[in-house]
Amino acid sequence: MLKEVLTGDLVTVDLPGKTKNDVISALLDMLVSTGRVEDRDMALQALLDNESRMSTGMENGIAIPHAKTDAVSELLACVGVSKRKIDFESLDRKPSRIFIMTLSPKGRTGPHVRFLSEISQLLKDEDKRKAVLSAKTDAELLSILTG
């Protein structure tokens, strides 16, 4: 599933932003650049609404901002690594540096759940997280995630 969804233009080792909202906006821009987000404002609102209900900051420096929205017709995902530590109101109260964003159409849960399951299995592994954080290029990051 990761190989099907992630491509070189949907991963970055140099995610811009200093705040939670900056990061969400930068990740969304990566997805918008594919031409497969029909309405950026609608997608952003869905992401921010979801965040306001419950932070998507997990543990181990990972955050997974996500939303279901009519702005997309298929599962879209991207991964960004920040050189900065960003406060994402995480469960373990530690800042995040690895960000995975997913947008999926309303009413379709299968692909969304499968993608999140695969990425969380991968990032449970401390060595994989270290490799993700130390990736020097987008191509290297993609290889770690889909290898």
Q: What residues act catalytically?
A: 66
Helices (H) and strands (E) in the chain, counts: 6, 5
Whole-number CA gyration radius for the chain: 14
Task: Tell me the two tokens of residue 102.
Answer: 């997913």
Select from 12, 8, 116 the least CA-distant residue to 56. Answer: 116
Angle at 52 between CA 48 and CA 58, to 5 degrees: 95
